[in-house]
Structure 1
Amino acid sequence: MDLLASLWNTLTYLPPFIAVLAVVVFVHEYGHYIVGRWCGIHAEVFSIGMGKPLLRWTDRRGTRWQIAALPIGGFVKFVGDMDPASAGRRDDGELTEEQRAVAFHNAAVWRRALTVAAGPVANFILSILVFAALAMVAGRASEEPVIGQLTEHAPADVGFVAGDRVLTLDGQEITTYAEILKILHKTDGAPVPATVDRGGDVIDITVRYSLPPVIDSISPGMPASRAGVLPGDVITAINGEAVHSFFGLQMATRDLPPETEITLGIDRAGEPLELSLIPVMRERGDPETGVNMMQPTIGVRSTSRGGLVPVAVWRGPLDALEHGVDRTWNIITGTLTFFGDMIFANADLSNIGGPIRIAEMSGEQAEQGAFNFVGFIAVLSTAIGLLNLMPIPILDGGHLMFYGIEALRGRPVGGSAMQVGTMIGLCLVLSLMVFATYNDISRVLAG
């Protein structure tokens, strides 16, 4: 992709990027603010964005709220903080007696710890609630082996009708809906026998099923995304060889040697085009056996189920909350696994992205619809919360580390040690930002 075109695409993603960042940062900082208030610590400033304030007002508690010019973060400045990062404390001599009583550094260590931890926790709560709300709106697919409905993606001679309860398929007894799709996916259009309960009558039918190679979603940062594949694209060929199904697409890429460049033939709303990319090696289920193994992967998904839609079951509030907790926890554990792989397993560090990549991902998810965009907010909120819990000075986790030491020692960490720790933390964070931005720029230049 031309460099100027890539940069222009990134600029067009700025509005959704700013929206995502504003929501995530506001929730994070509001967590600090509200718990600090509950703990008797007064906030002088609550800012969304950095730099010159564009809009500001003071509430009845004396906190100045503001929206600043640079939408790249935000902060809460408590009484007694030397700066918005809470990296140091002002001299009590500069404060009035009333201010000393509500200053951050004069609060008990447990109150300070709760206030600091509240930011990341607020991010996790946002993620849980967003995932739960999405689950309640969309419902969830029933595990019952019943065909809920047939969409336009279903083959005309599929054999099923809405309401069929599948009893056997290709000679195998069926107990869950996932088993239906797993068996049919591998048939790739070949006719197979089935037994169904249709309105109380048990009948034998012939089923023909093929999942079309229509791309429903793109994995951010993967080769297909970087090459310009879009949701709705139909992959018609790989290296000139025709592709008729998603199974055929998987089989065509499965046995490619590593670092092999391929050319995708694509039908985009009736317009043929070709895109070149190099698949990356990722562990995923083999299309034939289902066994996880390292395979060349381009990062596309089909979620249409080939037009066979299961019965939808509405999620109650508790079920939805459980789903939200599970999704958030999976993101946390997956991220921690990646961090561990970075240290011990030589993970691919090119996957680390910075502001440019987050902006692109925001735009890509916005293009894929409101559900995807809101879901991305939840994903990023979890990531921001987890990153801030890292035990690095200047991050929330670093402050918590110092408070833990203070609780064990019975007195605060010395000023010199705090300054050294803060400088080390600042260097680490800046190094990570530089590295992530380097990855972003390298990817844009390579695109």
Structure 2
Amino acid sequence: MGFLLVLGPLVTLHELGHYLVGRWCGVRADAFSIGFGKELFGITDKRGTRWKISALPLGGYVQFAGDMNPASQPSEEWLALPEQERAKTFQAQPLWQRALIVAAGPVTNLLIAIGILAAFNFAYGKLNIPPVIALVQEDSAAAKAGLDIGDRVIAVNGDPIESFDELRDIVVPNPGTDVDLTVEREGAQKEYSFTIPTLVEQDRFGNEFQVGRLGVGSSPGEIIAVGPVEAITLAFKQTGDIMVMMVQGVWQIITGRRPVDELGGPIKIAKYSGEQLSLGWRQFVSFAALISINLAFINLLPIPALDGGHLAFYAAEALRRKPASARSQEWAFRLGIAFVLSLMVFVTVNDVISLPIFGS
């Protein structure tokens, strides 16, 4: 249930972003599908668009008029269309409009997340915790390095920080990384350098995560009310921070600093969706915002067959003043589809292996 409540609306709104910008650009849509595969039911509107629900609920798509091959390149079938019909096809639009149509999906997902986070910021305020150490655990990395209660962390790796949250956001997702802290103690500055220890933590549902911990704690802090403008500004920053952490997480998996079993697919999303739904609507909506950012991030990767792959080709076309050959694009998109399908199979197997029935 939680899985459908998360992915269903997010995928629909993602595709709706493509559809609405395409319609604004004068492109006719032949089909708007939630899910893949065989159509279960649908209706056709007065513009000729077939709105349908399909059997495999793991995504969706908009089929624009004339979009007859994976690389969206003109074909003999497209060239044979009457000029009036051809003008309403995707390929007939100028480069900037095609780029807007493709970018609209992931941008919509980002706007959804920003809207959710801004609403939470406005409703609940922001937590302000000064970067002052209020607790040092015995035998922790911080204790061994010489940090003490009352120390104020003013910079991490030379970059100034203003809140304990900023320190946490640097430490927690980067276990095993070297870090330099600049600390203010009794008016004097001190420098501390050490490696962030790696800990494996478990949530209430038994899910395990590798995190970095220094072994320090903060004061409770205070809740500060924010106005609508600050709430939106803060939401943009929060979304950007989450995107950066996603990039870091992928790079850590590629470089072997994190295990590949942290990659998740539809089964893991379904599991986490149900868990978050059981915690209440606020946690569930927060999780939906995170998944929406995740969808935007994945779709913006420069992999042929994804939105980011199309945008990469459009960027190359803008620089070269001409598109890549139809044959090279066709092969690139075939390889991209093969890569995406292989990755889906891998993460699905990964998800199945991690289920409790296999002793994980």
Instruction: Give distance in 2, aligned partners of 1:98 and 1:280.
Output: 56
> How well do the aligned residues superpose, as a CA RMSD in angstroms?
3.2
Instruction: Give distance in 1, aligned partners of 2:79 and 2:328.
Output: 22
1:87–1:394 CA contact under 8 A, matched in 2: no
Q: Summarize deviations over 1:136-189 as a string: whole Å, max 9, x none.
A: 22233466xxxxxxxxxxxxxxxxxxxxxxxxxxxxxxxx6x86xx637979xx
TM-aligned CA distance change 1:278 to 1:413, over 3 Å:
closer
Instruction: Give distance in 1, aligned partners of 2:124 and 2:33.
Output: 35
2:261–2:350 CA contact under 8 A, matched in 1: yes
> How much has 1:350 moved relative to structure 2?
1.3
2:27–2:65 CA contact under 8 A, matched in 1: yes
Q: Percent identity?
A: 38
2:338 aligned with 1:427: yes
Equivalence map 1:14-413=2 (5 Å): 15-82=1-68, 89-90=74-75, 91-141=77-127, 183=134, 281-287=210-216, 312-344=223-255, 346-413=257-324
Instruction: Give distance in 2, aligned partners of 1:39 and 1:365.
Output: 39
Structure 1 gaps of 5+ residues are 1-14, 144-175, 188-218, 220-255, 267-274, 291-304
2:3–2:273 CA contact under 8 A, matched in 1: yes
Q: Summarize deviations over 1:78-111 as a string: whole Å, max 9, x none.
A: 110115x565555224423322011111111111
1:87–1:422 CA contact under 8 A, matched in 2: no
Instruction: Give distance in 1, aligned partners of 2:97 and 2:198.
Output: 57
Instruction: Give distance in 1, aligned partners of 2:251 and 2:318.
Output: 29
Tell me the SS of whatever aligns to 1:62.
coil
Instruction: Give distance in 2, aligned partners of 1:349 and 1:355.
Output: 16
TM-score for the superposition, normalised by structure 1 = 0.60
> How much has 1:70 moved relative to structure 2?
2.4
Instruction: Give distance in 2, aligned partners of 1:41 and 1:348.
Output: 44
> How much has 1:344 moved relative to structure 2?
3.5
Q: Summarize deviations over 1:203-245 as a string: whole Å, max 9, x none.
A: xxxxxxxxxxxxxxxx9xxxxxxxxxxxxxxxxxxxxxxxxxx
TM-aligned CA distance change 1:442 to 1:113, over 3 Å:
same
Structure 2 gaps of 5+ residues are 139-171, 173-196
2:210–2:258 CA contact under 8 A, matched in 1: no
Count of residue correspondences: 300
Q: Give the equivalent residue in structure 1 for 2:351.
A: 440
TM-aligned CA distance change 1:385 to 1:87, over 3 Å:
same
> How much has 1:442 moved relative to structure 2?
1.5
Matched AA of 1:284: R
1:49–1:68 CA contact under 8 A, matched in 2: yes
Tell me the SS of whatever aligns to 1:105.
coil
Matched AA of 1:434: V
TM-aligned CA distance change 1:361 to 1:89, over 3 Å:
farther
Tell me the SS of whatever aligns to 1:353.
coil
> How much has 1:356 moved relative to structure 2?
0.6
Matched AA of 1:339: V
Tell me the SS of whatever aligns to 2:119.
helix
Q: Give the equivalent residue in structure 1 for 2:144.
A: none
Instruction: Give distance in 1, aligned partners of 2:249 and 2:199.
Output: 21
TM-aligned CA distance change 1:66 to 1:311, over 3 Å:
same
Instruction: Give distance in 2, aligned partners of 1:97 and 1:311.
Output: 64
> How much has 1:337 moved relative to structure 2?
1.1
Matched AA of 1:101: A
1:81–1:87 CA contact under 8 A, matched in 2: yes
TM-score for the superposition, normalised by structure 2 = 0.74
